[in-house]
Amino acid sequence: MTPHELSKILLRFRLAQADLARLIEVTARGVALWLKGDRPVPGPVAAYLRLFQLLPDYLRRVELARLLEREAAVHNGMYEISFIGSGPAQTGTLIFESGKLFGGGPRGTLYDGSYVLDAEAGELDVSLKITLPPHVESIFGIQHPHEWSIDARMRFDPKFGYRRIEITTLLNTSVAAEIRFLRAVPQSR
């Protein structure tokens, strides 16, 4: 398959390079190299695209719907969160899976909560409970002699691998954070 033939297929089906990359599970850079002629289109990819063109319209739509399913599943995964507040900087790990989230941070901090995908906006609405052990200073510069928790909310677009966000607590205080996608949650079989 030539770069020109590949380009015609993308135009005919209104597929962006990134869409094709996600559909056949390769990098967008790989598709770009094929389109420039810097690398040959691999035989299995060319065979898939020939078959894709021959599919009846309704089956092609089913195949393209896989892109949307994958985008919706992007939010299931492991994320690193780094809080930037008046207290000591804290970095933790959050696991997002099937509407629930959990994780941990430094010195025994625990994260627990839930999330909902706002399909129209493509963003996650997250409710988060941050539980701190006794005598551990929070990102707000507060510590207590007993275990305590902070309820918080955040919203972000999971399609971006890295994002600066604002987390708001129910006490009407907010703190900046950075959230970074680390990897997908392994699928159980």
Quick: pLDDT tens for 157-170: 887 778 888 888 87
Last-in-domain residue among 21, 51, 73 = 73
| Residue 189 domain flag | no
Chain-centroid distance of CA 52 in Å reads 27
Q: Which two tokens stand for residue 99?
A: 């509407």
Mean pLDDT, the chain, integer:
84
Domains in the chain, number: 2
The dihedrals phi and psi of 179, each to the nearest 5 degrees, come to -120, 135
pLDDT of residue 66: 66
Instruction: Work out the percent of the chain whose per-residue pLDDT is above 90.
Output: 29
Q: Report pTM.
A: 0.57
| Residue 95 domain flag | yes
Residue 93 sits in the same domain as residue 178: yes
Could you list the residue range(s) of the whole structural domain that residue 17 is in?
3-73
Residue 61 sits in the same domain as residue 101: no
Residue 93 sits in the same domain as residue 139: yes
Half-sphere exposure of 65 (CA within 13 A, CB side): 6
pLDDT of residue 189: 42
pLDDT at 67 over 70: no
